[in-house]
Amino acid sequence: MSSEHSLLIHETLLSLSNAFETAGIPDPQTDAELIVGSVLGESRGRVQSLAIMGGTLEPAQRERIESLASERAQRVPLQHLTGKAPFRHFELDVGPGVFVPRPETETVVQFAIDELQADMAPEPLALDLCTGSGAIALAMASEVQRSRVWAVEKDDHARAWAERNVARLGDGRVTLLAGDVTSPPAEIQQLKGRLSVIATNPPYVPSGAIPRDPEVRDHDPQLALYSGEDGLSLIRVISRTYREYLRPGGLIVIEHAEMQGSAVRDILAADGWNSAATHRDLTFRDRATTARA
């Protein structure tokens, strides 16, 4: 990826893609196009068009692209390099210190959105526990515009990213709180019996399990990953603590690992939840369990 190479965009994309493939990056062409797009301020589709039309790069642009590409080849998350993570129909600000939202969570939050849309209350209320970047809370608020959403995050670094996203995308209907979900903040305690939906993507990796992907293992905050020997410690706390916060028949939506569905259903049933059911994501892996208060 020497700067002496041609400044043609299509040659730059080929060089980056080859380097990323060698580094073991799963979708090297996509990452190459997104890095070039971030430097040019263009969409991925526009980058593809410019490449076909023989578009070129200024030397400073090529230098910046090569710098970002070098970091990506070392498996720094793409989203940390671009500062953006797509989620549903918007882009979140992300970076070091916050869990990068995954595409599978987009399917998880759909259960919460469907429940809010079906609620006939003038202003259905929702809660996002372990909000991280604010992805789930902002999706609920933006797609059900008569809803009010509260979001709780313990970690100061993650919450700083959530504050940026809520300020930009929350439309005044998302309240972000500092707090530990094991001890609900006072503002949340006032919502007992009133919530329509609780949604959460909590940490669920067993403490002895080491994630395979370097982007996760080396860059996602440990607080957002690990939760006891079986990965279910925080889910147990949420199950026994938050049923009384939902209105009768209200829905909880919990993201988890593909092998944890049965255990999560057992936890919920033991704590008095009703109609626990596990649902698959777009890759046909068990990804979320829902239940009713």
Rounded mean pLDDT of 205-219? Answer: 86
Pairing state between β 246-255 and 148-153: unpaired
Q: How confident is the model at residue 241 (pLDDT cuts 50, 70, 90)?
A: very high
3-state secondary structure of 128: strand
Q: How confident is the model at residue 216 (pLDDT cuts 50, 70, 90)?
A: confident
**Mean of the per-residue pLDDT values for the chain?**
93
C-beta neighbour count of 171 within 10 angstroms: 11
Note the pLDDT tens digit of each residue in 276-286: 999 998 888 99
Residue 3 pLDDT exceeds 80: no
Residue 208 pLDDT exceeds 70: yes
pTM: 0.89
Residue 1 pLDDT exceeds 70: no
Residue 7 pLDDT exceeds 90: no
Give the span between the Cα atoms of 97 and 107, in whole angstroms.
24
Q: What is residue 213's predicted lDDT score, i.e. its pLDDT? A: 85
Rounded mean pLDDT of 205-216? Answer: 86
The amino acid that residue 86 corresponds to is: P
Give the span between the Cα atoms of 46 and 231, in whole angstroms.
42
C-beta neighbour count of 221 within 10 angstroms: 16
3-state secondary structure of 124: coil
Residue 5 pLDDT exceeds 70: no
Lookup: tokens for 108: 């998880």
Report yes or no: 127 and 150 within 8 Å, Cβ to Cβ. yes
Note the pLDDT tens digit of each residue in 116-130: 999 999 999 999 999
Rounded mean pLDDT of 136-144? Answer: 97
Rounded mean pLDDT of 143-160? Answer: 96
Residue 6 pLDDT exceeds 60: no
Note the pLDDT tens digit of each residue in 92-114: 999 999 999 988 999 999 999 99
Residue 4 pLDDT exceeds 80: no
User: How would you classify residue 193: left for phi > 0, otherwise alpha for psi between -120 and 50, otherwise beta?
Assistant: left
Residue (of 86, 112, 111) closest to 101 by Cα position = 86
Give the span between the Cα atoms of 1 and 71, in whole angstroms.
13
Note the pLDDT tens digit of each residue in 27-72: 999 999 999 999 999 999 999 999 999 999 999 999 999 999 999 9
At residue 221's C-alpha, the angle toward residues 196 and 282, to 5°, is 55
Rounded mean pLDDT of 3-18? Answer: 82
Residue 12 pLDDT exceeds 90: yes
The amino acid that residue 10 corresponds to is: H
Q: Is the dihedral of CA 197, 202, 205, 210 positive or negative?
A: positive
Q: How confident is the model at residue 209 (pLDDT cuts 50, 70, 90)?
A: confident
Give the span between the Cα atoms of 158 and 242, in whole angstroms.
22
